[in-house]
Amino acid sequence: MAQIELRSLTKSYKTGKVLKGVSLVAEQGEIVCVFGPSGVGKTVLLRLIAGVEELDAGAIFLEGRDVTDAPPETRGVGIAFQNFALFPHMTAFDNIGSALTAHGASASIIKAKVEKVAALLKITHVLSHLPRALSNGQKQRTALARALAADPKIVLLDDPLRNVDAKLRYEMRLELPSLLRASGATVLYVTQDYKEAMAIGDRIAVLVDGRFEQIAAPPAIYRGPASVSVARLFGDPSINLIPIKPKATKDGAVCEIGGATVSLAEIHAATPGRSLLLGLRPESLNVSDQQAPDSFPVEVMAVTPLNEKTVLLLRTHDGQEIFASEAGVENETRQPGPAFARFDATRALVFDEASGARIEGRA
């Protein structure tokens, strides 16, 4: 039985339509990351599920029950807000216990459950503190503990790592998946950091322009984004998109990039005659001083060493700027100047220029 089922949810505000038919099914124990650029309506979606905002149309089923019109206190979800939303006048213990007091649990049960979840999140030593005496990391853990304390079947997390420092964010990215999996809950995890989504989610639901553009496992999304807009959201630097118009030759399709003719024979999606976008991840570009078959001339404009990788800004002879990234910084002799770029045809993506949809190429 699906734990969370959303059926074409729509929601508008005075400023315009935010959600235009969002559908999703999440199974028991699954962690689904809702990912998208900021302001796209991710938080609104969580609020609709929690019941603190009203739907315009659509239906929400939680644990198989239609809760579309149910008040928030009857939905049985655990939630952690991006701004923590701790109760400022209650200690961390009472904050975490608040999810249990509602259901008439006895003081000893509350104590046991709060202490268990606090130990899991390593905040036992601050349980008697008020929120204002907690560090940001402790606040974040307290909010998380509160969401998990009552063992909810459904947990909604709204960008819980956004307001914590980078070190803690890394630690939590490692800890969270096992913690959430141990709880056995179905989790909707909102984030606007693609790395976080890839680290934490079993599946990623990419929210673009009011709809889920793609819902798939992290590697599938990275390797096979459904559209240009999804492809652009994953990867740093983001994907290079080069407009091409393949021509048929006796050796297969070719196209012209920066004045050089490049073979597209291995890329089956590159139908001759169509206006396409060639999607090249920076790491699938190979930059060399030597000309090679199917390479095209570029000018290296800038070299940015980033410890684990070096990012190159290239300009093709027809004026397009593209990024290439090389693992490590071993090639320290890399200097701005003329060079040749070559791409790995097996990793190239092809999109329809008009619709932005990816064209499947494997014949």
Of 1, 15, 73, 250, the one binding other proteins (CB under 8 A) is 73
Strand partners, 276: 244, 352
In the region spanning residues 19 to 38, those forming contacts with other proteins, defined by CB under 8 A, are none
Of 10, 28, 68, 98, the one binding other proteins (CB under 8 A) is 98
d(CA 295, CA 284): 13
Of 67, 86, 253, 270, the one binding other proteins (CB under 8 A) is 86
Q: Which is nearer to other proteins, 74 or 333 (CB)?
A: 74
Q: Which is nearer to other proteins, 76 or 237 (CB)?
A: 76
Minimum gap (Å) between residue 83 Cβ and other proteins? 6
In the region spanning residues 43 to 72, those forming contacts with other proteins, defined by CB under 8 A, are 47, 50-52, 71-72
d(CA 233, CA 238): 7
d(CA 280, CA 262): 14
Minimum gap (Å) between residue 89 Cβ and other proteins? 5
Of 12, 39, 57, 89, the one binding other proteins (CB under 8 A) is 89
Exposure of 179 in the CB half-sphere (CA atoms within 13 A) = 21
Q: What are phi and psi of 103, to 5 degrees?
A: -100, 15
Closest to 208 in 3D by CA, of 51, 3, 356, 80: 356
Q: Does 15 engage in binding with other proteins (CB under 8 A)? A: no
Burial 49-82 (b: 16+ CB within 10 A, else e): bbbeeebeebebbbbeeebbeeeeeebbbbbbbb
Q: Does 103 engage in binding with other proteins (CB under 8 A)? A: yes
Q: In what order do the strands lie in the sheet with 285-288?
A: 285-288, 337-343, 296-305, 309-316, 321-327
Of 42, 113, 139, 146, the one binding other proteins (CB under 8 A) is 146
In the region spanning residues 154 to 183, those forming contacts with other proteins, defined by CB under 8 A, are none
Q: Angle of helix 107-120 relative to helix 136-148, nearest 10 degrees?
A: 130
d(CA 248, CA 254): 6
Q: Which is nearer to other proteins, 46 or 239 (CB)?
A: 46
Q: Does 87 engage in binding with other proteins (CB under 8 A)? A: yes
Q: What are phi and psi of 43, to 5 degrees?
A: -65, -40
Q: Does 79 engage in binding with other proteins (CB under 8 A)? A: yes
Exposure of 85 in the CB half-sphere (CA atoms within 13 A) = 12
Q: Does 88 engage in binding with other proteins (CB under 8 A)? A: yes
Q: Does 75 engage in binding with other proteins (CB under 8 A)? A: yes
Minimum gap (Å) between residue 159 Cβ and other proteins? 13
Q: Does 83 engage in binding with other proteins (CB under 8 A)? A: yes
Minimum gap (Å) between residue 18 Cβ and other proteins? 18
Q: Which is nearer to other proteins, 73 or 308 (CB)?
A: 73
Instruction: Specify whether the CB–CB gap between 142 and 123 falls below 8 A.
Output: yes
Q: Which is nearer to other proteins, 75 or 169 (CB)?
A: 75
Minimum gap (Å) between residue 153 Cβ and other proteins? 13
Q: Does 233 engage in binding with other proteins (CB under 8 A)? A: no
Among the residue ranges 75-83, 210-218, 243-251, 271-279, the one whose residues contact other proteins (CB under 8 A): 75-83
Among the residue ranges 23-31, 98-106, 232-240, 279-287, the one whose residues contact other proteins (CB under 8 A): 98-106
Instruction: Specify whether the CB–CB gap between 135 and 163 falls below 8 A.
Output: no
Query: Judged by CB under 8 A, how many residues of this single chain contact other proteins?
Result: 27
Instruction: Specify whether the CB–CB gap between 189 and 35 falls below 8 A.
Output: no
Q: Does 99 engage in binding with other proteins (CB under 8 A)? A: yes
The three state secondary structure string of 183-238 is HCCEEEEEECCHHHHHHHCCEEEEEECCEEEEEECHHHHHHCCCEHHHHHHCCCCC
Residues that bind other proteins in the complex, under the rule CB under 8 A: 47, 50-52, 71-79, 81, 83, 85-89, 98-99, 101-103, 146, 150
